[in-house]
Chains A and B, each alone.
Chain A
Amino acid sequence: MGDPFDLAAGWLQEHALLPLLYALGLMRWEEVSFGWALFALYGAAQVALTYAICVPLERWRPVEHWSDRRAVSVDVLYTLISRVGVLPLVTFVLFYQAQVALNGWMADHGWVPPMLETMFPSLLGHPVLTFLCYAAILDCVDYWRHRLSHRFRWWWALHALHHAQRQMTFWSDDRNHFLDDLIAFLLFGAVALAIGVPPLQFPVLVLLLRFVESLSHANARVSFGWLGNRLLVSPRFHRAHHGVLAAGQRSCNYGAVLPWWDMLFGTADFGRAYAPTGVPGAEPALESGTYLRQQWAGIRQLARDLGGRRRTSLTIGRRNV
C-alpha cells in the first residue's frame, strides 16, 4: 500500500490533469502538474485536519463569542487560496525552478550548494531528522521575518492586515497581504536555497507544522501547560501576540511553531492570556472588508507610509502600545 496522498495525486494526474494538458497542448507541464496535485491535496488535507480539530476546540472553550461571523468568512477564502489553489502552484513552480537554477549556477562556479546533508553526511538516510533540522532553521528565520515585519513601518503597513482581525480563528493563519506573502516567499526561498530545502520530500511533516500554525490562531482557551507552552507555540501563546496591546512594534511571541526563538531573543511573554485581538485604530476595510478591499487598504496604507504621511490610523495604533 503506497502513500495515500501520492496515489490520490496520481489518480488526479492521470484522470484529470493529463487529459486536460494533452487537450490544451501543454504536455510539457506534466511533471509540474503532478507536483501541484500533491501540494493541493496536502493543502486540502491541512484544511480538513485543522477544521476537524479546531472547530470542536473553538466550540468547547471559545475565548470570544460573536453573533456575526462574516469577518471570519474572508479568512476562509484566504485559507483556500493559500493552501489549495494558486499559491501551491506558484510556490512549486517558482521555488523549484529557482532552486535548480541557483544551485546549478553555483555548481558551475565550482561551489557545492550547501545542503545540510552534504555538510553533515550522516544525515543522509535519516529523512525525518533531516527535515526537523531544516524545520528548526526555517522557523528561526521566520521568527526574524515576523519580528522585522513589526519593526519596519512600511512592512507593518502590510502585516497589519493579518493582525486587524478582531474575530481571530484558526482560519486567520493565512490572512495576509499578498505583498507580505511575497516578501515572506522571497525570504524563505533565499534561505531555503542557501541550505537546500527539498521541496517535496517531507509533505506530511509540513502538513503537521502548518497545523500547529493554524491551531495557534484558534479562538480557543487552549494552553499546553507550563512546559508544553515552551516547547510548541500554543493558542494561548500566540494570542498574546495578536492582542490589542501587542499590535505593532513592541509585540511579543513572534514564533510560528517553536517558542524557543522568543525565549532566546527576549521577546517571549507567557504571562498575557487571551486578550482581545486586533489593531486599535485600523480602518474598517482592513478589519472586516472583502478580500479585495482588505488588499487595497493594505496598499493604500503602504503608500501612505512610504509617502511619509506619518499620522495614520496604524501609527496611532502602534503608539498606543
Chain B
Amino acid sequence: MRLLAFVCLATAALAPLPAAAAGVAFVINSGAASVSLIDMTTHKELSRIPALREPHHWALSPDGASLVVGDSAGNALLLLDPATGAVQRRVTVADPYQLGYSPDGKLLVVNGLARNQVDIYDARSFALVKRFPIRSMPSHLAFAPDSSRVFVTLQGTDRLAAFDLRAMRPLWDVAVGSTPAGVLWHDGHLLVADMGTDHLVEVDPADGRVLRRIVTGKGAHNLFLSPDGRVIWVNNRVAGTTEELDAKTFAPIRTFHISGGPDDLAFAPDDKVWITRRFAESVAVLDPASGEIATIPAGRSPHGIFLNPSAPGAAKLARN
C-alpha cells in the first residue's frame, strides 16, 4: 500500500501567556477538539491548542522532541513541542485513535478504533508499513519489551489480538473478557482491563491464554504501573473509582472515589496522580498520601493526559 503520511499544515501560534510556572500538563479534550496546557503548580490553564476534530491519545517521540497527539476524526497527528506546546507540524494519518512507539523507537503503532484497523508506521517518516484490518474497535495497546510484538484490545468484541512486528503478521486473536480496554505489559504477562466487568484479566502473551482474573471495580477501564513499579493503578469507569493494587500480588491497597468517568492517568514527581474525568470536563489531581483531590477544569471529554514536569512553563510559553 502506498505510503500515506505527509505534512498538511505548518505551525500555529500560541497566545501570549502569563509568566512563571514549573511543569506543564497537556490535557487532550476529545470533545472540544483541543489540547489544554495546564500549569502544574498553579493548576491554571495556560493555553488551549486547537486540533481538528477529535483528539484522544498521545505518544512521546523516541527522541523526546515531539508530543504526538492523535486526532482520530480529524485524521491527523498533531506534533507538539513537549516543553512549550508549540505546534511543530500536522501529519495526515487515517483515524489515529490510540498510538504508541515501540520500545526500540523504530515503529509507531496506531489503532484506528472507528475504522477497525491497526496501522504500523515507520517512526521517523510516518510512512505506513503495514495495515491490519481487524474487528472491532481496536482500542488500547501494549508492546513486548523487546519490540517484537504489539498487543491490542478489541473493545467492540471480547478479544485481545497480538501482532508480530518483525514478520508483520497477526499472531493470535482470542477472547479474554467482555469489553477489553486498557492493556499493560507487566512482569512477563499482559494485564487487560475488562470494562464490561469488574476485573483485570492476566493473559499469557505467548498464546492469549487467560491465567487469572483480578477483581477491581465495575467498568475496569485502564491501568497504569507507577514509576517505582510497586503499584498498579486501575481506573474503574462505572464504579467511579481509582484503585491501587500491589504490583506483585495484585492485592488491593486503597480505593479512591473519582467521579465523572476516570479515564487516563499520569504520575507527577510530587507523587500526585493526575486523572482525566471524561464526563466531568475536568482533571482530578489526587494526593495519595492525604487522599485529597483537587479538580482542574478542562475542555469537553478530557481523555489523554501527558505531564512534563521539566517544562519551563509559562515563562517560556509566553515567548512562543
Contact = CB atoms under 8 A, between A and B. Distances in A.
A104 B94 contact: yes
B259 interface: yes
Contacts, number: 121
A50 B144 CA distance: 57
Interface residues of B, number: 47
Contact of B297 (A2, A115, A121): A2
Interface in A195-239: 196, 198-201
B53 A7 contact: no
Interface in B227-261: 237-238, 240, 259-261
A178 B236 CA distance: 40
Contacts of A103: 73, 75, 94
13 contacts: A2-B281, A6-B281, A14-B261, A22-B196, A27-B195, A100-B73, A108-B4, A112-B8, A112-B75, A121-B10, A127-B50, A196-B53, A199-B73
Given A9-B279, A18-B219, 15 more contacts: A1-B297, A7-B280, A10-B279, A10-B281, A11-B279, A14-B279, A22-B218, A34-B279, A100-B73, A104-B95, A104-B114, A104-B115, A118-B8, A125-B12, A200-B300
Contacts of B300: 3, 6, 200
The secondary-structure label for the interface of chain B is loop
Nearest to A2: B281
A103 B74 CA distance: 8
A155 interface: no
A27 B115 contact: no
Interface string A160-202: 0000000000000000000000000000000000001011110
A271 interface: no
A99 interface: yes
Contacts of A64: none
A71 B50 CA distance: 47
B36 interface: no
B33 to A, nearest CB: 6
Given A104-B94, A104-B114, A104-B115, A28 B218 contact: no
Nearest to A113: B75
A269 interface: no
Contacts of B218: 22
Nearest to A37: B279
Interface of B: 1-2, 4, 8-10, 12, 31-33, 50, 52-53, 72-75, 92-95, 112, 114-115, 137, 155-156, 178-179, 195-196, 218-219, 237-238, 240, 259-261, 278-282, 297, 300-301
A75 to B, nearest CB: 32
A112 B93 CA distance: 9
Contacts of B8: 112, 118
Residue among A97, A107, A198, A199 with the highest chain B CB neighbour number at 10 A: A107
Interface string A104-126: 10011010110101100100110
A266 interface: no
B2 to A, nearest CB: 6
Nearest to A17: B279
A34 B92 CA distance: 27
Contact of B31 (A14, A104, A200): A200
Contacts of B95: 100, 104
A110 B4 contact: yes
The secondary-structure label for the interface of chain A is helix
A96 B196 contact: no
Contact of A104 (B32, B112, B237, B281): B112
Contacts of B53: 115, 196, 198, 201
A140 B10 CA distance: 31
Give the size category of A's interface with B. Answer: 35 or more
A13 B279 contact: yes
A128 interface: no
B120 to A, nearest CB: 15
A237 to B, nearest CB: 34
A19 B95 CA distance: 29
A283 interface: no
Contacts of A125: 12, 50
Nearest to A106: B75
Nearest to B90: A118
Given A101-B115, A112-B92, A198-B33, A10 B280 contact: yes
A25 interface: yes
A28 B301 CA distance: 17
A104 B196 contact: no
A200 B301 CA distance: 11
A27 to B, nearest CB: 4
B4 A107 contact: yes
Given A27-B195, A28-B155, A112-B8, A117 B52 contact: yes
A113 B261 CA distance: 32
Given A18-B238, A34-B278, A28 B72 contact: no
Contact of B73 (A9, A99, A110): A99
Contact of A22 (B10, B219, B261, B282): B219
B260 A10 contact: yes
A28 to B, nearest CB: 5
A14 B260 contact: yes
A16 to B, nearest CB: 11
B250 to A, nearest CB: 22
A196 B92 CA distance: 14
B301 to A, nearest CB: 7
A124 B12 contact: yes
A97 B281 CA distance: 24
A108 B94 contact: yes
A115 B51 CA distance: 12
Interface string A29-41: 0100010001000
Given A10-B280, A22-B238, A107-B94, A100 B114 contact: yes
